[in-house]
Amino acid sequence: MEIKVIGGGLAGAEAAHQIALRGENVILYEMRPSVLTPAHKTSYLSELVCSNSLKSTDLTNAHGLLKEELRRLGSIIIRIADETAIPGGKALVVDREMFSRRVTEDIGSNPRITVVREEMREIPQGVAVIATGPLTSNDLAESIKKRTGVHNLYFYDAVSPIIDGDSIDMDKAFFGSRYLKSADDYLNCPLSQEEYDIFYEELTHAGRVDLKDFEDIPYFEGCLPIEVMAERGKKTLLFGPMKPVGLNDQRHRGNPYAVIQLRRENEEGSMYNMVGFQTKLKYHEQERVFRLVPALRNAVFLRYGSVHRNTYINAPKLLNDKLQLKDDERILFAGQITGVEGYVESTASGLVAGLSAYAMATGRVFIPPPEDTCIGSLLRYVTTEKDNFQPMNVNFGLLKDYNKRQKEKAAARALESIEKWIETINGIK
């Protein structure tokens, strides 16, 4: 049986490669060059649309660890990235043109993969992996919307920064939710009037990311970038996301002038989301301005805030832990459209979807990757039900049983688990 993969980006190329590696035939549909996206510029597969960096190579950095896991799993994307690397310090930086050309040649010369340069306008019949990315074509997006429900497909991201729990100054923050509804739902970071004045001044004058034409999206009132909201008046934030009412700060005496509320992103409290702080400030400006808040003076940002065009599905609601639609196991999703964020994360998702589609098509069992690995924890993140699902980069806070002070140990354990998983999946007949 031929497996269809829709979208020849990072996830699609990886999925096709993994399926072919195991001896099944694949048809890979890529709409470029006949239909273009607003960001891609070439007809190459796996084009890197922006930066040519695949981030850190350090194993005590989650991006570095994820790449090592993929390397051991025989990822085509990481192999070619290694082969086309150019000097980049502690990051894996590639020759952009050579990288995508090599992926195109490798995939194109694989006898088990047929590349069809055609836009897929509807979810196809049979076993198919949909990996059409953040700029999925309109017709296919419509078809996905019809299939999954209008509320389960999103077209842009309004993302608040996520902060490493360990880097928050707990002496300058306090737990509590408004009007004591429940004791420790939020971690509150108070500001005095003087601190707020400085913060406001810097926020409204900080450097912003330029809008690309296709990102010139109308903001919804409910999720305006924080700096746009601030421009409406000096007190606007005090009636919005920085509202101080209902929060009694016992330790710091009385009610604060302004408050930034942080919400736990995971049970362990290793990651905190800045509630209502979606922003288009440049990354270094986010660090500079948000670190003006006393409790965040040394904040480490695990994810920066953003507002950008991004097509993604409500994966936790729609997909099982094999990346299959819960109500139709022949349809799988992979890459950024599942709510992972970034080149390497999308590659990882493509690899899992490829293995899962192969198992599905050949009647084999598929065992998902262990949750103490970067790959497994990303998969868990996008397939575990949550109230407010937002795309996520890989980070150590996602790993199961992660001990904040032991990155080396967590990395060693992840690689051990990956080796065991490889043995297990290779042993399935």
Ligand X SMILES: Cc1cc2nc3c(=O)[nH]c(=O)nc-3n(C[C@H](O)[C@H](O)[C@H](O)COP(=O)(O)OP(=O)(O)OC[C@H]3O[C@@H](n4cnc5c(N)ncnc54)[C@H](O)[C@@H]3O)c2cc1C
Q: Quick one: which of 16, 19, 20, 29 contacts ligand X (CB under 6 A)?
A: 29
Specify the residue, 8 or 305, whose C-beta has the smaller distance to ligand X. 8
Specify the residue, 187 or 352, whose C-beta has the smaller distance to ligand X. 352
Rounded distance, CA 278 to CA 157, Å?
Answer: 9
Q: Quick one: which of 73, 92, 93, 140 contacts ligand X (CB under 6 A)?
A: 140
Q: Quick one: which of 225, 335, 368, 397 contacts ligand X (CB under 6 A)?
A: 335
Q: Quick one: which of 3, 7, 91, 397 contacts ligand X (CB under 6 A)?
A: 7
Using the contact rule CB under 6 A, the part of the chain among 10-18, 96-104, 270-278, 398-406 near ligand X is 10-18
Specify the residue, 93 or 229, whose C-beta has the smaller distance to ligand X. 93
Amino acid identity, position 262: L
Residue ranges in 88-127 that form contacts with ligand X under rule CB under 6 A? 119-120
Specify the residue, 139 or 185, whose C-beta has the smaller distance to ligand X. 139
Contact between 142 and ligand X per CB under 6 A = no
Question: Minimal distance in Å, beta carbon 183 to ligand X?
Answer: 38
Question: Minimal distance in Å, beta carbon 387 to ligand X?
Answer: 24
Q: With beta carbons less than 8 A apart as the criterion, state whether 96 and 343 touch.
A: no
Contact between 51 and ligand X per CB under 6 A = yes
Q: Quick one: which of 132, 314, 324, 356 contacts ligand X (CB under 6 A)?
A: 132
Q: What burial letters (b/e) apply to 326-340, b meaning 16+ CB within 10 Å?
A: eeeebbbbbbbbbbb
Specify the residue, 261 or 336, whose C-beta has the smaller distance to ligand X. 336
Specify the residue, 18 or 417, whose C-beta has the smaller distance to ligand X. 18
Contact between 40 and ligand X per CB under 6 A = yes
Those residues with Cβ within 8 angstroms of residue 247's Cβ, 6 or more apart along the chain or in another chain: 176, 178, 188, 190, 255, 256, 259
Contact between 351 and ligand X per CB under 6 A = no
Site string for ligand X, 285-324 (x = CB under 6 A): ----------------------------------------
Specify the residue, 93 or 189, whose C-beta has the smaller distance to ligand X. 93
* Residue 308: other Cβ atoms inside 10 A: 17
Question: Which ranges of 298-388 would DSSP assign to H, the alpha helix?
Answer: 315-318, 343-362, 374-383
Contact between 64 and ligand X per CB under 6 A = no
* Residue 217: other Cβ atoms inside 10 A: 13
Which helix (H) or strand (E) element contains residue 53?
strand 53-56
**Structure token pair of residue 141:** 């997006």
Residue ranges in 175-204 that form contacts with ligand X under rule CB under 6 A? none
Contact between 354 and ligand X per CB under 6 A = no
Contact between 225 and ligand X per CB under 6 A = no
DSSP-derived 3-state class of residue 137: coil
Task: Give CA separation, 349 vs 3, 266, 377, 404, in Å.
Answer: 17, 21, 11, 25
Contact between 37 and ligand X per CB under 6 A = yes
Rounded distance, CA 375 to CA 394, Å?
Answer: 8
Amino acid identity, position 214: F
Question: Minimal distance in Å, beta carbon 10 to ligand X?
Answer: 4
Longest CA span, the chain: 71
Q: Quick one: which of 134, 161, 276, 376 contacts ligand X (CB under 6 A)?
A: 134
Task: Give CA separation, 292 vs 189, 203, 204, 389, in Å.
Answer: 11, 10, 13, 28
Contact between 30 and ligand X per CB under 6 A = yes
Q: Is the dihedral of CA 274, 280, 283, 287 positive or negative?
A: negative
Q: With beta carbons less than 8 A apart as the criterion, state whether 10 and 46 touch.
A: yes
Q: Quick one: which of 3, 5, 10, 360 contacts ligand X (CB under 6 A)?
A: 10
Using the contact rule CB under 6 A, the part of the chain among 34-42, 276-284, 288-296, 323-331 near ligand X is 34-42
Amino acid identity, position 387: D
Phi, psi of 28 (to 5 degrees): -105, 115
Q: What does DSSP assign to residue 206? A: S
Task: Please give the residue ranges that form the binding site for ligand X (CB under 6 A).
Answer: 6-12, 29-32, 37, 39-40, 49-51, 119-120, 131-137, 140, 335-337, 342-343, 346
